[in-house]
Structure 1
Amino acid sequence: MTGTTKQAEATAGTESPAGSGGVRRRRGPVPYTVVIALLALLVAATATAGTAIGSIGVPADQVWGILLHRVHPALADPDWTRVRETIVMDVRLPRVLLAAVVGAGLAVCGMALQALVRNPLADPLLLGVSSGASVGAVLVLVLGVTLFGVFSLPVAAFCGALAALVAVYFLARSGGRMTTVRLVLAGVATAEVLSAVASFLVVTSNDPHKTQSALRWMLGGLAGTTWASVWIPVVAVLAGTAVLLGVCRSLNLLLAGEEAAVALGLDVHRFRGALFVLVALMVGTIVAVSGQIGFVGLIMPHVVRLLVGADHRRALPAAALLGAAFLIAADLAARTLMSPEEIPVGILTALVGGPFFLWLMRRKAAR
């Protein structure tokens, strides 16, 4: 067994930046359980703020009282009005839950993709899936298609994402195999073409109201969220994250290099192909209900590696919690900074993520 293989076998599941040549152990100054507990508290705090703050404020203790009363009437005495209960349960809570699910899903998918392609710049938008979803959604918004009623837009967006995935998959395959380079190139090319198609549909629309709706969807947002639109992405993100947690050892092996992974019995090409499909389906489901929200899947994995390292058994749960808290906070800012107007949340994530990523690049270059 070669030295590289021994190192990979001994440290599969240890920590290393994505794209590095080897695997090295690096423990943070804060225990992992403490980090997870703090991130969970951060999610709870941002969710409470997201549910309490708005045009009609609801005290935080009443928010929790309403939730506990819904769980069981004996847990809290109802000292709030019916209007406040409706605001919490039917207006704000579904939106906060969707923000948490979308943020967690994008962060987890970003971390998995960065390991699969061994590139720290990879993110969930890499495979052209979001651009395919945009074409499907814009078609519904511009042409006024209502075949599936209120579900017409998410269904069309998901179908567009799935079609983009199939196109990228077949374009990337050559001789029965699919390399990372071909996959990235096919994804980028497909994304550019589909983005151009979506833009063409928008600029050629004769209805300014439909055009504005399409543009706002393309910029990402969670307005109008209902309980009916939450459960599908919840199931998709939970199931996809569970699968990724189950293959953490294989993801860690990829960080040590393809040769070491193959020597330890991992079918790299088949493993990558299967996970690309899984991630694309997760992203397609997410984008179908939220629009394009960038930088969450790119930035959160880097922050998590600074906190707990790159071992996916530790990093994936941390990324899910951090992504959830970040997008809840971003969505809260999007709907309150310019109230009663609402800023597309994709704009805020880009304004925050772009400068942070540049700082991170300079920090690593200085090292």
Structure 2
Amino acid sequence: MLKLCKQNKSKILVLIISFLLVTCLSLTFGQVDIPLTGTAAVLAYQLYIPGVSAADFTFEQQALLWYIRMPRTLVGLLVGAALAVAGAVLQGVFSNPLADPGLLGVASGAATGAVIAIAAGIGFWQLFALPVSAFAGATAAVSLTVLLSVRPGKIPVMPLLLAGMAVSILAGALTAGILTYINEQKLQQYLFWLVGSLDFRRWEHVFIAFWPIGAGITVLFFLARQLNVLALGETEARAVGMAVVPFRLLILLIASLITAAAVCVSGNIGFVGLIIPHIARLLVGPDHRLLLPVSALAGATFLVLCDTLGRVLIGPSEIRAGIMTALVGVPYFLYLLRTIPRQ
């Protein structure tokens, strides 16, 4: 059983408090602020906690909190956790701190699937059409990447990365080709999706994302010990009897699954899967048994914080979550690039 040192316990406690605080801020603040007492009363009432009645809050507060902000916040928590865990897994598998969930063509494939749905006109009329199409595109891209990179008895890292790059370029070309033939209204809808955002999320989006992300992250948590062995290198993993190729393929598919589920409900939000696992590794070390839960918690907190700041910084307008994460992620990415040659 994993033993936590006193220092790690204090860091995790601070992270949990930050998670709860950011979640509360996301539910409370926005273009229309809700008092903390009103937020607590609505949540207690909706969760059937005794002692709270409908007289303790207004109908507007209930509608705003439960049907607009709560789904938006939950989607942000799920997407942030999924991208961060996928990034931590891929960085461990590739032994590269610059690896992120976009390496395997997931984001590009999802974009192609989304633009196909928009071009066909189904994205406007059916709630599930756009995320389902994006998920199908992401799954197809990952499958093609793995198919192109598999060699007899092994999945070499470099061909996998090159195949992912090639598939991303191909998906980007298909997307650009489709965009040249759609009208301005559909183009605007695609651009809003491409930037990455959590606005206009509903409870249906929460349910779409919850099951694949929840199941995928849970499986990865149980495989953390094996991930530690694989991160030591392929030779060491084979020496202890691990079936490296099937296990690596399983890990890549699960990471791609949770990434695809995240992208299909939020659009293309970058840098969460790059910077959060790196920060989590600096905080608690490389042990995946601790790294993955911390990455999930930190990723969820980071994305919801970025979304909340985007809502309040220049109100009544909003800065989309994908833009906010990029504003934070690009400087940190440049910092990583400068530190790598010194290692």
TM-score by length of 1: 0.88
Instruction: Give the distance between the partners of 2:339 and 2:95, measured in 1 at CA.
Output: 20
Q: In the alignment, which residue of structure 2 is the partner of 1:275?
A: 251
**1:153 counterpart = 2:161:** no
Output the amino acid matched with 2:126.
Answer: G
Map 1:1-367 to 2 at 5 A: 31-77=7-53, 78-145=55-122, 149-175=126-152, 177-205=154-182, 207-363=183-339
The runs of 4+ residues in structure 1 deviating greater than 4 Å are 363-367
Instruction: Give the distance between the partners of 1:265 and 1:55, measured in 2 at CA.
Output: 57
| 1:15-52 deviation line (CA, Å, top 9, x unaligned) | xxxxxxxxxxxx98x62222222111111111111111
Aligned residues of 2:118 and 2:124 also touching (Cα < 8 A):
no
Instruction: Give the distance between the partners of 1:283 and 1:75, measured in 2 at CA.
Output: 41
Instruction: Give the distance between the partners of 1:75 and 1:239, measured in 2 at CA.
Output: 35
Aligned residues of 1:118 and 1:254 also touching (Cα < 8 A):
no
**Aligned-pair distance for 1:213?**
1.1
Aligned residues of 2:217 and 2:258 also touching (Cα < 8 A):
no
SS at match of 2:101: coil
SS at match of 2:87: helix
Output the amino acid matched with 1:118.
Answer: S
Instruction: Give the distance between the partners of 1:172 and 1:191, measured in 2 at CA.
Output: 14
Instruction: Give the distance between the partners of 1:191 and 1:267, measured in 2 at CA.
Output: 29
Which protein is richer in helix relative to its size? Answer: 2
More off after superposition, 255-264 vs 338-347:
338-347
**Aligned-pair distance for 1:360?**
3.9
Aligned residues of 1:130 and 1:161 also touching (Cα < 8 A):
yes
Unaligned runs of 5+ in 2: none
Instruction: Give the distance between the partners of 1:97 and 1:147, measured in 2 at CA.
Output: 23
Instruction: Give the distance between the partners of 2:35 and 2:340, measured in 1 at CA.
Output: 43
Aligned residues of 2:31 and 2:311 also touching (Cα < 8 A):
no
SS at match of 1:126: helix
**Aligned-pair distance for 1:111?**
0.2
**Aligned-pair distance for 1:146?**
5.4
Unaligned runs of 5+ in 1: 1-12, 15-26
| 1:33-77 deviation line (CA, Å, top 9, x unaligned) | 222221111111111111111121101232122112222242435
Flag the 1:41–1:311 CA change in 2: closer, same or farther, 3 A.
same
**Aligned-pair distance for 1:123?**
0.4
TM-score by length of 2: 0.94
**Aligned-pair distance for 1:317?**
0.8
Aligned residues of 1:103 and 1:325 also touching (Cα < 8 A):
yes
What percent of counterpart residues are identical?
Answer: 38
| 1:90-133 deviation line (CA, Å, top 9, x unaligned) | 11011001001100010000000111112111101110011111
Aligned residues of 1:49 and 1:60 also touching (Cα < 8 A):
no
Instruction: Give the distance between the partners of 1:278 and 1:126, measured in 2 at CA.
Output: 14
Aligned residue pair count: 342
Instruction: Give the distance between the partners of 2:293 and 2:254, measured in 1 at CA.
Output: 18
**Aligned-pair distance for 1:164?**
0.8
**Aligned-pair distance for 1:273?**
0.7
**Aligned-pair distance for 1:326?**
0.4
Q: In the alignment, which residue of structure 2 is the partner of 1:24?
A: none
SS at match of 1:335: helix
SS at match of 1:174: coil
SS at match of 2:96: coil
Output the amino acid matched with 1:115.
Answer: G
Output the amino acid matched with 2:250.
Answer: A
Instruction: Give the distance between the partners of 1:108 and 1:197, measured in 2 at CA.
Output: 29
